[in-house]
Copies of this chain bind each other. A is one copy, B any other.
């Protein structure tokens, strides 16, 4: 049997229960993602609902959703009359961003791997990596798509 009068966890307990560092929890309160009650001594008091929200945030952030995405997701989570379409769209857009980022990184990877391969990596100064950086194509601001 648990106590009838649930007092709520303090931030250290909430951190353990949610998996988030206490600092991060305070930060999330600062930016309005959560709003725990305070005890008479000024300590934050987290109960089931808040812990849940924190775990939700931990998971969403772990999947790479931005803080603003998380804010929107929590809003939808709280809204019983939401349309799952809205949630799905948010996630699908995030998926697209992940895919774009992966593609970008894979392109970098290919180039950098080529450079590493081309370099002897010995004590001599000759280095195709530096040669390439010095004379290779201008990539970033010249060719990368604007958004």
Name A's B-contacting residues (CB within 8 A): 18-21, 24, 52, 55-56, 58-64, 73, 76-77, 79-85, 87-89, 91-92, 94-95, 98-99, 101-102, 105-106, 108-109, 111-113, 115-116, 119-127, 129-130, 132-134, 136-142, 144
Copies of this chain per assembly: 2
Contact status of A91 and B115, CB under 8 A, knowing A56-B133, A138-B18: yes
Between A and B, 14 residue pairs with Cβ closer than 8 Å are: A58-B142, A59-B132, A63-B111, A77-B133, A81-B125, A83-B124, A84-B122, A84-B124, A84-B126, A87-B121, A87-B129, A88-B120, A92-B116, A98-B108
Q: A76-B130, A88-B121, A134-B56 are in contact. Are A63 and B95 (CB under 8 A)?
A: no
B59 x A125 contact (CB < 8 A)? no
Which residues of B are found within 8 Å of A20, using beta-carbon distances? 140-141
